[in-house]
């Protein structure tokens, strides 16, 4: 059983939804990002999604774009991102880690080398938003062969035929993007999320995580009532940003972000009581 399978099985046994948290590797610097990632499980994160810094994060909104710029300016690289994962695994062998990013850096490194290195470092899954299902042989299938779950995004415009295609090689969980557009843009209604999750669950036995637009513990709790996990990224990134001074980490940067994660986790954990 993979870490993702074990985590969602444990959540189901507990009768609760999970919290998936997103941070960008190297934001605002690698040491601070590493300390933050290591603190996430204790703050209540069930799954950690780590962004691989890239110059053109097309699916991301202003907050995460700025995080990518800060990380790259601070010297973040794909190798250093993998090193962060490896460092995390020295003290935590149970919390699943999903690497999120874009195909260009992976292609530059070499797909076979990347998937092997990612697995060896301790990653459990990938979200690569610019690789369509029609091109699964490019990255998805090599990733699955290496033991990495390939997690697909489902949107409000994904029709039944497309959903069947996308689900073919999806693993780990399904990520439902609750609003059209970039990360951090707007929020979906509770009814819309409920209907979408129900539709997706008719097409797959995989857990369904819902993200985009979740900013508060109340919003996370509302999603947790109907989905297997709530995904929060931009709100955490903005907490990091507000603690910086001249773009650099301060003594309160890590705690500022972790305090929000604790609040979000409390909302998620109390949603089904």
As a whole number of angstroms, the distance between CA 114 and CA 153 comes to: 21
Give the single-character DSSP code of 230.
E
Q: Does the annotation mark 49 as catalytic?
A: yes
Backbone angles phi, psi at 68, to 5 degrees: -60, -40
Choice among 46, 49, 149, 228 that is catalytic: 49
Given the residues 27, 60, 136, 241, select the one marked as catalytic: 60
Rounded to whole angstroms, the Cα distance separating 182 from 129 reads: 12
CB 217 within 8 A of CB 267: yes
Task: Give the span between the Cα atoms of 75 and 180, in whole angstroms.
Answer: 32
Q: Is 35 labeled as catalytic in the residue annotation?
A: no
Helix or strand (DSSP H, E) at 81: helix 78-89
Longest pairwise C-alpha distance within the chain: 50
| Residues marked as catalytic | 49, 60
């Amino acid at each position: 059983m993979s870490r993702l399978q074990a985590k969602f099985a444990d959540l189901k046994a507990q009768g609760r939804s999970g919290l998936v948290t997103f941070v960008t590797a190297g934001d605002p610097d690698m040491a601070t990002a590493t300390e933050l990632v290591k603190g996430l499980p204790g703050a209540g994160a069930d799954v950690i999604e780590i962004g691989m810094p890239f110059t053109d994060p097309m699916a991301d909104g202003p907050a995460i774009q700025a995080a990518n710029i800060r990380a790259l300016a601070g010297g973040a690289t794909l190798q250093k991102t993998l090193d962060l994962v490896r460092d995390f695994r020295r003290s935590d062998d149970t919390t699943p880690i999903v690497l999120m990013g874009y195909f260009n850096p992976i292609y530059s490194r070499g797909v076979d080398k990347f998937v092997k290195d990612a697995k060896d470092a301790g990653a459990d899954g990938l979200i690569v938003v610019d690789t369509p299902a029609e091109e699964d042989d490019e990255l998805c299938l090599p990733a699955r062969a290496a033991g990495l779950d390939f997690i697909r995004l489902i949107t409000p415009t994904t029709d039944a035929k497309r959903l069947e295609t996308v689900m073919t090689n999806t693993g780990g969980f399904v990520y439902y993007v609750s609003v059209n557009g970039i990360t951090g843009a707007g929020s979906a209604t509770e009814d819309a999320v409920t209907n979408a999750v129900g539709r997706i669950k008719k097409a797959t036995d995989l857990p369904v995580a819902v993200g985009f637009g979740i900013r508060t513990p109340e919003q996370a709790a509302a999603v947790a009532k109907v989905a297997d996990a709530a995904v929060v990224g931009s709100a955490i990134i903005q907490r990091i940003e507000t603690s910086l001074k001249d773009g650099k980490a301060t003594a309160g940067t890590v705690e500022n972000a972790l305090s929000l994660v604790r609040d979000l986790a409390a909302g998620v954990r109390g949603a089904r009581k």
